Each structure stands twice: as C-alpha cells, then as structure tokens.
Amino acid sequence: MILLDRVSKKYPKSSEPALDKISLHVEPKEFVIIVGQSGAGKTTLLRLLTREEKPTNGKIIVGGIDYDKLKDKKIPMLRRKIGVVFQDFKLLPNKNVFENVAFALEIVGASNEEIKKTVPKVLAIVNLSGKEKNMPSQLSGGERQRVAIARALVRQPKILIADEPTGNLDPKHAWDVIDVLEKVNRFGTTVLLTTHNAEIVNKLKRRVITLRDGKVVSDEARATYKV
C-alpha cells in the first residue's frame, strides 16, 4: 500500500538531512504508528506522502501511484485518495460541521443526494450526530478533531494519515479519537499514525516505527513506546 525506497529529504538551509535513506513498506489494512522526538522526521515523512514536499532522493509509491511520475497537476487527484488528519484540525472556519465534511465530497463532484446520505453516516461513526449545524468555533478540541476525521473518512480512502491527531487534546478526547481510528482500521483502511503519546502507543500494541535523526532505528510489530 505504501512503499518508500531509500527516501531522503534535505532542506536547503540545514546541514543534516531531515530524512536519511528511509525504506519501509506498509501492507494494506495495517495500523502503523510512527514515533520519534520532535525533529526526528515524522512530519516530513507524512508531508512526502501527501506530496506537500518532494524527496531529494528515493522512490515513493502509494496506492499504486509512483510519485516520480506524478505531475503537479495531478496532485489534487492523489490527495483525494488519501485521508489526512492534522494536529491542528485544519477545519474551514466559515463552514459548519456538515459543510466541512461535505466539502471533501463536493471536491470530487459528488451529487447532493449522495452528500445528504453519506455525511450523516460518517458523523455518526465519529459520534457527532446532532452537531451538524455547529461552527468549528463552537466545538471542543476533541469534537473538532473528530470532524476532521469524518472529513478524511467520508471519501472512504484506502489510506488514512493522522499527524499527531491527539497532540492538542486532553486524555479523554485523545482516546475518543484513537477509538475512531481503530474503528476505521477495522473497516479496512490502512492507518498511519504519528504520536508522542507513550500511553497510546503502549495500549494499542501495533506496529511501531521509531525515527531518530531522520533514520528508522526500529520497526517492530506489536511494539511499545521507546524513543
């Protein structure tokens, strides 16, 4: 599902590479946690996957798309296939909950009927039924993050990338979000989660990839948190 082959990323102004010859392979329906201290390269890795950045070297293939052959014009198409959840939610402030989720479908030209049918279902999955008309500013952090997850899920992506989705949340809301991610994974979506939270990593007992200074220092199944 996700294949990285000796991928490096070096920013022009820094002496050390942010990612140094990383190779990894994620199978479909896997739940993978990426851990590492700040600056270890977690976010860079995810930004490479969403094509916000290009690698300096190496090959990336996601869902059968070879990024070397991907034209800039086709990037929107790629992003429509990947669901992304951000630490800072990135909700559209002028749209209410329903519209924020519906927006992901509007982009791909879904019909109004389809939107009216699908969005409430997804909002039910993230336990936000009844909040459709609320604006993002009227929601708690946990609720906002669940809206963001609903938005990422509504197009039924094969891959869900969550970049520290619990980073801004208190423990209770953090677990709500993790529960939703597990639920999604059970439905068959590949989940890529980065986190700082040792408790979450230890409890989930999933494959954990540890990054340090831009390198993979460990990659273990059913692992625990060690940075």
Partner 1 sequence: MSRKSITFRRILKTGLLNFLRNFSIATAAIATMVVTLTILLLSLIINATFNNTIVQITNKVDVSVYLKDSVDQTQTSKLIQEIKNIPDVSKVNYLNKDQVLKQYLLDNSSDKLLSTAITETSNPLPATIHIKPKTLDKISQINNFLARPDIKELQFSAPQSNQNLQNAINNITHATDVLRTLGIIAMIVFAIISILIIFNTIQMAIFNRRNEIQIMRLLGANKSFIRGPFIVETSIYGLIAGLISIGLVDFIFITSNSTLQATSLGLLDINFAGKYFRADIFKFLLLQVGVGVFVGAISAFIATRRFLKFKIK
Summarize as ranges the residues that interact with partner 1 (CB under 8 A): 50-54, 72-73, 75-80, 84, 86, 90-94, 103-104, 106-109, 111-112, 151
> Which two structure tokens, joined as six digits, stand for 87?
């630490």
* CA–CA dist 14, 2 (Å, integer): 27
Closer residue to partner 1 (CB): 3 or 78? 78
Smallest distance, Å, CB 199 to partner 1? 29
Closest by CA to 162, choosing from 50, 28, 2, 1, is 50
Closer residue to partner 1 (CB): 35 or 58? 58
Q: How far is CA 15 from CA 11, 45, 56, 80, in A?
A: 8, 18, 14, 34
Closer residue to partner 1 (CB): 2 or 84? 84
Smallest distance, Å, CB 113 to partner 1? 11
Smallest distance, Å, CB 152 to partner 1? 9
Smallest distance, Å, CB 63 to partner 1? 13
Closer residue to partner 1 (CB): 38 or 94? 94
**Cβ pair 206, 33 in contact under 8 A:** yes
